[in-house]
Structure 1
Amino acid sequence: MNAKRVSLADIARRAGVQRPAASNWKRRHHDFPDPLEGTSGELFDAAEVAAWLDCRRIPVNALRPGERPGTTFGDRFRGAAGTAVAEQEARKPPVTERADAAARIWKVFDGVRGFADLGDFTESVLALVCCRAVDPRGFEWFRDAVRSVPPSGAGDLFLSAWAGVSRRTAMRLDDPPVLRDVGGGKALAAVAEILYDMEPPAEDDRGNPWWGPSEMAGVYEAVLGRIAVLEGHRGGEFHTPRSVVRTMVEMVDPAVGERVHDPCCGTGGMLAGVIRHARGNAPPTAPPPDVSGASLTERGRRLAAMNLLVHGVRADVRSDALAEVGARPEGRRFDAIVTNPPFTLTLAPADLGGLHWRYGEPPARNVSFAWLQSVLAMLSDRGRAALVTANGATFSRHRSEHMIRAAMIEDGVVDCVVALPPRLFASTGIPVSLWILRKDGAGNGRILLIDAGELGDKRSRAVRTLTDDDVGKISGTYRAWREGRFRDEPGFARGVGLDELRARGHSLSPPTYMTSTAVEADMNAAKGDVERLRADLARLHVRLADLDEAVDRLLGGGR
């Protein structure tokens, strides 16, 4: 890469921060240098970046040996561009962008569709990505060794490399399913070559990989996203679009040191978002956040554990998500919960009876009200949560659903509801809402309702996505609400009091309240127009009487 041009990954590496921190600099600071023209917004002028970093001092607890207090990130950035680093960069293999790598992997995937189990193949590919991130030396051993064995032996060879991942992480990791035929072996070898072309994880002075997120995390999530589209509803049960994850995580704002849980974590995308967010707002030396989760299936648990490993975190992930629904929480409580449970799931009545329901027993046909109560029960005294439900949960008149929603509102645990745009999920067109819950009931008798239904850009004919500006608008509005700076924004956001909520049957559907405000404003304006028209009409009647009298005089004078 031209030394005068740097990517966000280059900026993060040279400044000695995590990649999310560099992304946050760009997103949150309007004076951050603009991308160079003709680079699709991906490259920046190194001199401009260095000058901008000169204004940012490195925290004392993040200084490296030899750096004095007062050293800026600009000083570190320039130092990292020296001769030694340049030589090290020259020895690295060519860098493949994550989107390009995912696309190339998918071409390999297309080649095995006719003869391989797609689920097994995608899981083995994701395990290969995890191996590249966590144990690069073991990966390189596999990549070299697979060239000298028959293709049918590639699967068993990779399992030998995978054992090294378990040893390195000190975790019990199940063996991934592997393909043992010729076509499958050739596909594994091809994917290994693609991943080898990417930038390897950074190493410390002893040659050990730095335990943190790498470019592999982006590849892993890109492949997961493609799987979700391919598998439809099955994929949707474990994949939440990244823009929705960002919105939820930024609203809950988990910090390093807090305990964060996803009781229905799918493949770990929500928890990966928590890790990116927490690291982006913490010093580089800060420990990773304490995250945990439970998936509905064994496959989901395996994929989630690997997802979190490529993000640099060893996490406790189980496969008993349904066991947490309605159970009395024992032991740990959580500072933050973020989750997108499958709202189409139906529980048998026997699964609900006799469990702990603070606000009322939920109907078996709508598990959303079971998840809402279970999440609240798992929070610490000042905990908060973000949860996705179908829009119907915000206004349903079903007796038990209405009763539970009303009780939650009256208890003050619902802080905000956001109506999201349609078609954000590739697996379903059902419109959804975000619920922000707070255990301390600190809403002061009001609930923030946000109608974000008009936000989002079309990513394809069938799918929309929230832009960075959309995410910032939603999370910024909620942040202003929490900080006491919020002012109603007609048509987008309102703070609604209990009296109005009661009058509307405890509905939490944001569009209803935005429409009512607009109609009320139109009626007030129309009322003023009517009064003015009445006054004008009265004046015209007086004028008409004067004219009639004048006409009578003229006619009388003419007789």
Structure 2
Amino acid sequence: MGNSTGVPDGDRLLTRTEIAAMAGVTRAAVTTWERRAADFPTPRRTANQDYFIESEILRWLDERRVPSHRRTRREGEHTTYGDRMRRHGPVTSVAQERAARQPAGSVPGPRESPDPRDAEIVRELMGPLAERVGGADRAVAYLSLLSALLFLKETRPGCWQKVQAYVMTGAEPRSSTALLKLVGAETDSVLLAMGSLPEMQDALARLEPRRFQDLAHVVRLVGALGPHAFQLFIEEYEERAQLRSREFFTPLPVARLMAALGRAARKSSPSSVYDPYFRGGELLGAAVDTARWGRDRPGAADAPLPRLLGQTPKRATLSLASMGLALRGVPFTLQLKTRGRPWEEKWPQEQVDLVLTNPPFNMKDTSQETTRTGHWPYGAPPVGNDNLAYPQYALSVLARGGRAAVVMPNKAGNSGNTAERAIRRALVEQGVVECVVALPDKLFSGTPVPVCIWLLRHPADADDHVLFLDARDLGVMRRGGRRVLAHDDVRAVLDSYLALSPKEGPVRPDGPPPASVPSARVDREALRRKDYSLNPIDHIGRPSAPDFGTAGMGEAEAWAEVSRLRERCAELDERTAVLRNELETDRVRQAPRHRATLVELCEIQAGPSHALLAPRDRTPHGVVPVVLPKHLRNGRVTDSADDRASLELAERLTRYRLAPDDIVCVRSGAMGPPAMVRGDQMGWLMSSNVIRLRCRQGAGVLPRYLLAALSRPDAVNWVKDRAAATAAPFITQDALGRQEVLLPPLDVQREIAELLTLLGERSDAHRDLAAAITRARGLLLDQLTSASPSSQDSEKEPRS
């Protein structure tokens, strides 16, 4: 399906009757062609009507000559039905007016605030009124209603007047169904004239208004909105809706950042922009807005706005994207692709200047190395995982000098999958990765997954450096726990990119300020040493933050417990002072150290699968404690007494039982520091949510030193960053095995571990003392301030 607003030779949608009229045959002849020819174009069905794309029909008819007995006097022996169709021209029902009217103009600039009145109205529209009109789980359909009303108001005054007249007339009866059908029919008429599938009647039929008055109120509120409110609908929807990962829209600041990066990398405004998975059209719209703002700058060339192209498998948002782009007044072609992946069919036919896309992620993390067939110049992605298929496809459709900005899960940057590692290697070695930007988590509705933006360049512009930018600490938290990037955040990332990118031509006097986000420009050799990782955290790192741990509560029993703990603290204070004086700090600091990965130092064992140890197997009545992430506290393994397995089951799962000095790490869930198994916890059982590290004999590492090294804030952040790349935090056994630690000689490890262990005991004792004092204080407070029996009796007496 093509939308070609403003393009005279753009695709149209035709019915069988219209094809017959234009080709000069009967309606039955078209049905016969369709039934007998396996290659006859496939229709797009909506609202109980089939529509065919004109260009596909023309290509098919160009191969069919008109038989001699069917030719007119003016037609020769080589005349095809395609020739006849072109001469005939469009039929009346298809040749509706294509241009709506002059568009409402560009959306507000990045620093401009929306009209306060518009914002207030949109908040009311998306509040309780949305549920009363939309019904349960009809968020997308209600968004379509608001968009359709605004679209008609801004582009078809005559259609809008029909809607208003129905709402305002005093004639009875008036029904919600009739009004929704009117809005849908009028909108579909305009969409069909633009070459877009008429989906609105079907979408609006899903709404369940409680009262006609509520629906009428929606119409009146939209009538009071200004021309730039369309984006407010999307933003407010994003704030309120909880969507599945394949359905969320791209937040406006992220879309603007991607469009700005692509434009800056090209050094000029693109003439064509393509999104192979356009969701609600936010990225295509941002490309237009960015180009328009660039033209408005003093001294900027009046470059034409880009032509937009896009594909989507989502009918629900196709009309939304069409209306949003039509309001911007630019030519666009949107295609509904319900079967197959974008790379399985050559479309668009011509190369493009800029690809912007936020494709669906596949979080599958498997050791399966089987790859798919097809043409993959950088390596075939693993079956069932398209993460590294989309960047390759984006590169394949770029024109010379083109750029692609792709939203990617963090995991894709350093996945241990052999096929994905080979693809990253090829991308780096061929120099097509220009920049990778790490974004904060919680940017998208319905998922906390942090992502990166990969900026890719055409192979003709290959370079042996990759710029990494770390924007994870930017943005502010808003309602619902979502993070939002401000204009200054977007500007900081863009300025950092401009400051660190290779300069071409004369230096501008108003050049960008120095980089203001953590960054690193890494050459190819350094990338090889990092196993071709394209995750910024592997090249920039994250500043260490103090780790205060969690306060524990002792078994304090009033003042006697306070006295006992005070004595214990005094003893540990003295022992620490002695050990601290004996420690030669300079010698320890200057001791040689070497790097080693956990897989070199330890046997790494993930917990049993749910098939072996299901949640139902854990009960308070079992014998063997089962260790879950909640039991890892302050470097120790605790026991809640609620999660236990039978002895028979534990004996069958021998390989998953724990031994003294084992280090237990979180595998899935909230990532935190690891914990060590005590001697009295021998034989306890791992759950599926933890991973065990067991130091190898002769590996040159002491368990207690390793525990301390893995408890450092930077080590914990290393695990968190990799685990956060999935929909639910999860670290694989292979990924954990790649974590590095610095190891001094064993005698130095022993000194460090002994001091740290003593300091840990001292810290625990002081914490228990503070808890005991607090508990005793509460007890004393209760005794001193509670009402006496005499005062309670006096309160019962009536007042005189």
Give the TM-score normalised by the residue count of structure 2: 0.48
| Equivalent residues of 2:238, 2:249 under 8 A apart | yes
1:534-555 deviations in whole A, cap 9, x for unaligned? xxxxxxxxxxxxxxxxxxxxxx
Aligned equivalent of 1:337, options 346, 355, 367: 355
Return the match for 2:397 from 354, 357, 378.
378
Structure 2 counterpart of 1:97: 117
C-alpha RMSD of matched pairs (Å): 3.6
Match status 1:23 vs 2:36: no
Superposed, 1:485-500 pairs within 5 Å as: 492-500=518-526
Query: Structure 1 residue 466 and structure 2 residue 491: aligned?
Result: no
Q: 1:487 to 1:169 in 2, by over 3 A?
A: closer
Give the structure 2 partner of residue 506 of structure 1.
532
* 1:281 aligned counterpart, secondary structure: helix
* Contact 2:354/2:403 (8 A) holds in 1: yes
Partner of 2:687: none
Tell whether the 8 Å contact from 2:134 to 2:141 is kept in structure 1 after alignment.
no
Output the CA distance in 2 between the equivalents of 1:125 and 1:516.
43
Aligned: 1:425 with 2:436: no
Q: 1:230 aligns with which of 233, 241, 248?
A: 241
Secondary structure at 2:402's aligned position in 1? strand
C-alpha displacement at 1:516, in angstroms?
Answer: 9.5
Structure 2 Cα separation of the partners of residues 435 and 422 of structure 1: 16
For 1:275, the aligned partner's letter is V
Letter in 1 for 2:276: P
Equivalent position of 2:186 in the other structure: 161
Q: Tell me if structure 1 keeps the 8 A contact 2:468–2:519.
A: yes
Mapped contact 1:224–1:239 kept (Cα < 8 A): no
Question: Contact conserved, 2:133 with 2:209, CA < 8 A, in 1?
Answer: no
User: What residue in structure 2 maps to residue 393 of structure 1?
Assistant: 412
Distance apart, 1:298 and its partner CA: 1.5
Aligned to 1:289: 306
**Aligned partners of 2:106 and 2:328 also within 8 Å:** no
- Structure whose CA Rg is larger: 2
CA distance in 1, matches of 2:158, 2:516: 57
Alignment of 1:405-484 (within 5 A): 405-440=424-459, 442=461, 444-460=463-479, 462-484=481-503
How big is the shift at 1:288?
3.6
> Which residue in 1 is equivalent to 2:231?
218
Contact 1:418–1:433 at 8 Å: present in 2 too?
yes
Alignment partners' CA distance in 2, 1:421 and 1:271: 22
Give the 3 Å change call, closer, same or farther, for CA 489–128 of structure 1 in structure 2: closer
Q: Percent identity?
A: 25
Aligned length: 423
Asked whether the equivalents of residues 268 and 304 of structure 1 are also in contact (C-alpha less than 8 Å), the reply is yes
| Residue 240 of structure 1 pairs with residue 250 of structure 2 | yes
The residue type paired with residue 453 of structure 1 is R
Query: Partner letter of residue 102 of structure 1?
Result: V
What is the Cα deviation at residue 454 of structure 1? 1.3
Q: Indicate how the Cα distance of structure 1 residues 323 and 262 shifts in structure 2: closer, same or farther if over 3 A, else same.
A: same
Residue equivalent to 1:131: 152
Structure 1 residues without counterparts, runs of 5 or longer: 1-15, 28-40, 44-94, 200-213, 519-525, 532-559
Q: Give a deviation string over 1:221-240, Cα, whole Å, max 9, x none.
A: 335424xx424216x52401
Give the counterpart letter for 1:373 in structure 2: Q
Q: Deviations over 1:268-300 (max 9, x none)?
A: 111111111111112698654200111122222
Query: Which of these residues, 239, 249, 257, is aligned with residue 259 of structure 2?
Result: 249
1:276 aligns with 2:295: no
Q: Is the 8 A contact 1:249 1:277 kept in 2?
A: yes
How far residue 302 of structure 1 moved from its aligned partner, in angstroms, is 2.2
Q: Does 1:353 align with 2:363?
A: no
Q: Distance in 2 between matches of 1:315 and 1:327?
A: 19
Q: Which runs of 5+ in 2 are unaligned?
A: 1-102, 545-585, 592-800
Structure 1 segment 139-158 matched on structure 2, within 5 A: 139-148=160-169, 150-152=174-176, 153-158=178-183
AA aligned to 2:199 is D
Alignment partner of 1:112 is 2:133 = yes
Instruction: Letter of the 2:131 partner, please give it.
Output: D
CA distance in 2: counterparts of 1:328 and 1:352, whole angstroms: 21
Counterpart of 1:325 in 2: which secondary structure?
Answer: helix
CA distance in 1, matches of 2:382, 2:360: 15
SS of the counterpart of 1:128?
helix
The alpha carbon displacement at 1:112 in A equals 3.2
Distance 2:405 2:278 in 1: 13
Q: Distance in 2 between matches of 1:288 and 1:323?
A: 28
Instruction: Give the counterpart letter for 2:118 in structure 1.
Output: R
2:664 corresponds to: none
Q: Which whole-Å deviations, capped at 9, do the CAs of 1:348-370 have from their partners, x for residues lacking one?
A: x9x97332211111012321111
2:222 corresponds to 1:195: yes
CA gap 1:517/1:504 in 2 versus in 1, 3 angstroms: farther
* Residue 325 (structure 2) aligns with: 308
Native 8 Å contact 1:18 1:279 kept in 2: no
- Return the offset for 1:444: 3.0
Residue 490 of structure 1, CA deviation: 9.4
**CA–CA distance in structure 1, aligned partners of residues 270 and 404 of structure 2:** 16
TM-score, with length taken from structure 1? 0.67
Distance 1:417 1:106 in 2: 36
Distance 1:386 1:167 in 2: 31
Query: Larger % of helix: which?
Result: 1
- What are the superposed Cα offsets for residues 194-246 of structure 1, whole Å, 9 maximum, x if unpaired? 111123xxxxxxxxxxxxxx3133334335424xx424216x52401111111
**Distance 1:144-1:516 versus aligned 2 partners, 3 A rule:** closer
